Structure 1
């Protein structure tokens, strides 16, 4: 029987396509699907077959345009400063606005289940206040501390021995503490929604029926233990709606796919250094700039084709290596295709993703300031040493098994039975 689902998302760059992939899958199964989203995303929402609904008081942004980006984390001087912008401009600061808009939509047109990108604590608050089942979507590796793994964020290697465990306890405290500066704003949103205050911002992320991690369990650490409401449902491998047709560079040399952030992260200079590096190697380069960078402004040698966009899932069938900022979407698509990586993290969750790729043996990491020579050396090494492709193919087989059925859709549809039981 068709059910009604209200999604809530924001202009979060690479977090958008996985959320809309689930919306599309539910719509294709005959359900009614609406998506509360920034107006800059409405074309993508419509392309997924869902009905776009605009935020009215919550922030409106466009991650592809630095002037319209809400967070502007590219202006931050430190990782802590970048985190504070996310906390204060999306997660906690405007939580009351997100809650107000979400509750207004639910009251005007009730839904059976609310599905929200996990950073929208205000939308999750509204679902709790409305008393309907709520699913939260994590579009990267599980981002909170757990037993059996180093604290996520800084890209630490797994701990060894007593000193390593001490390091993890200390770093966990350092990671959790800055969240609490957002507690007054979050609790103001909760009280305005008719809910009791909470003691912890991080604890509020768990006030959902299901927290669905759209990431391969195979990429996470084997001994890591998760809360009971957390489900790894596998990655979404769809290309974004704005991906163009595929054009490959001429020749038959190994193909290196280059893809940095789809949002603005001051990546222009790095794109040119990567292009210069590929110019010194016997390879073909396909460099996709994404919406945030004009491809006409990127200088590149003759063996590198620069384009605004390409369907990565198709290009990866031809690729030997991917050079990426280690955004979760690009990294996981590459691994799903059995393609190893050279990671150049720029910020956000990227150091963590790059570390997991390295620990899995499926790629290398170089610093964001790496020279063309250093980048070229890393690409040549991944091309030369068969272990990287072997481990990428191992992960590809595990990802294929995880995504053989649509676990995310199954988990969300199962929540409707709870709604029916409550009625």
Structure 2
């Protein structure tokens, strides 16, 4: 038995759905958790048998999807602390060791054992779960990689990820991108290629030429965003946009929320759900809103304690609130630029003020500003500069109009995305 055989068929709309077994191998990436588990939930809702192998921190959220939960037996070692000042070399090394090469041997062992026990027809992995990919490949079970962001791998015609670059123009721009793509591959290969190939050899797989080739071995790279939001590029044949998953995190989705009284514009402030040393930035945003005739709603998430922040009378600071509900009443969103918050704001037709911190956030910010749907200011901006940016966005109809236009395409892709995603997974 391979797991590809159907258990039984159920009726789903106009066609019968063949139920199958799926194994997810996920890592806790903060903002990546809701969309990745949203994929699992959609499969559960269709009647499939879904098992999620993930970090212990994801246990409650996983069980809430209806999927079976298996914790990794080995917890992540230490804290990545990618928010600290680091050189590109040290940041690349620390990221690779913490997220890829360090966990990979245990991931491969545990995913291999889970495949033997569960017999899934398909394995779905987080981007950094290279060990899970290797185990699936060794067991000859197809695997898909979940990419709940813009497309971040090197691709011709697309600006390289991480630097917040706009699309290049002309020969010099193309040279910039070519050099940057080579640099990205070089950094990954310097720290990851040898240990990844050593693990592949252990599992009797041929070596790969570059580290990121491992992702190209996937059956599909499922890009959980809208192509209208991303910049165009020449993507690999196995890369497919399947629309954004707009689920709120489980710890916020069921929280009750009441719109604050008053008639001023409502400003939602939503920063990172994982710690990025952003408490001081969040306080400056709160101070900025205190100088404006607005109603502020600030959600701290699990990373920051409400009591550690000072708030003026016109700003409510909450541990959590259902963003989908708040955005129905909001006029602008102030954020660190995480993909989940940005794409949900756009789908709601809301302009943004982005104070990007790291990771993919500068890339998301430039996709917002290039379309005229918001303003980006430095994360260390003063309260006065932040207040000016919020006032500018609120006072200029052009930002709202651009957000509505882009958001209409994003929302359509999100609605269509369920069908595209399920077609990719059930086909």
Partner of 2:9: none
Partner of 2:344: 333
TM-fit CA distance, 1:76:
4.6
Query: Equivalents in 2 of 1:213, 1:27: separation in Å?
Result: 20
> Is 2:218 the partner of 1:208?
yes
Aligned partner (choices 318, 338, 341) of residue 307 of structure 1: 318
Query: Equivalents in 1 of 2:49, 2:345: separation in Å?
Result: 32
Aligned partner (choices 367, 370, 376) of residue 359 of structure 1: 370
Query: Equivalents in 1 of 2:103, 2:28: separation in Å?
Result: 14
Partner of 1:273: 284
SS of residue paired to 1:319: coil
TM-fit CA distance, 1:249:
2.4
Q: Is the CA contact (8 Å cut-off) linking 2:226 and 2:243 kept in structure 1?
A: yes
Q: Higher mean Cα deviation, 403-412 or 332-341?
A: 403-412
Q: Higher mean Cα deviation, 85-94 or 121-130?
A: 85-94
In the alignment, structure 1 segments of 5+ residues that lack a partner are 62-68, 415-423
SS of residue paired to 1:27: helix
TM-fit CA distance, 1:94:
2.3
Partner of 1:151: 160
Query: Equivalents in 2 of 1:403, 1:150: separation in Å?
Result: 24
Q: Is the CA contact (8 Å cut-off) linking 1:213 and 1:231 kept in structure 2?
A: yes
Q: Is the CA contact (8 Å cut-off) linking 2:21 and 2:122 kept in structure 1?
A: yes
Query: Equivalents in 2 of 1:346, 1:84: separation in Å?
Result: 19
> Is 2:29 the partner of 1:16?
no
Q: Is the CA contact (8 Å cut-off) linking 2:339 and 2:364 kept in structure 1?
A: yes
Provide runs of 4+ in structure 1 moved above 3 Å: 78-83
SS of residue paired to 2:99: helix
TM-score by length of 2: 0.92
Q: Is the CA contact (8 Å cut-off) linking 2:246 and 2:414 kept in structure 1?
A: no
Query: Equivalents in 1 of 2:358, 2:36: separation in Å?
Result: 21
Against the structure 1 CA distance between its residues 399 and 13, is the aligned structure 2 distance closer, same or farther, given a 3 Å change threshold? Answer: same
Query: Equivalents in 2 of 1:306, 1:54: separation in Å?
Result: 33
Instruction: Give the superposed CA RMSD.
Output: 1.4
Partner of 1:368: 379
TM-fit CA distance, 1:82:
3.2
Partner of 1:408: 421
Mapping 1:3-402, distance limit 5 Å: 3-57=20-74, 59-60=75-76, 70-180=79-189, 181-222=191-232, 224-243=233-252, 244-402=255-413
Partner of 2:11: none
Against the structure 1 CA distance between its residues 70 and 11, is the aligned structure 2 distance closer, same or farther, given a 3 Å change threshold? Answer: farther
Against the structure 1 CA distance between its residues 48 and 80, is the aligned structure 2 distance closer, same or farther, given a 3 Å change threshold? Answer: farther
TM-fit CA distance, 1:174:
2.0
Query: Equivalents in 2 of 1:255, 1:282: separation in Å?
Result: 10
TM-fit CA distance, 1:93:
2.8
Query: Equivalents in 2 of 1:85, 1:186: separation in Å?
Result: 15
TM-fit CA distance, 1:267:
0.8
Query: Equivalents in 2 of 1:9, 1:76: separation in Å?
Result: 27
Against the structure 1 CA distance between its residues 355 and 79, is the aligned structure 2 distance closer, same or farther, given a 3 Å change threshold? Answer: farther
TM-fit CA distance, 1:79:
4.8
SS of residue paired to 2:160: coil
TM-fit CA distance, 1:118:
1.6
TM-fit CA distance, 1:360:
1.5
Query: Equivalents in 1 of 2:374, 2:250: separation in Å?
Result: 28
Q: Is the CA contact (8 Å cut-off) linking 1:93 and 1:182 kept in structure 2?
A: no
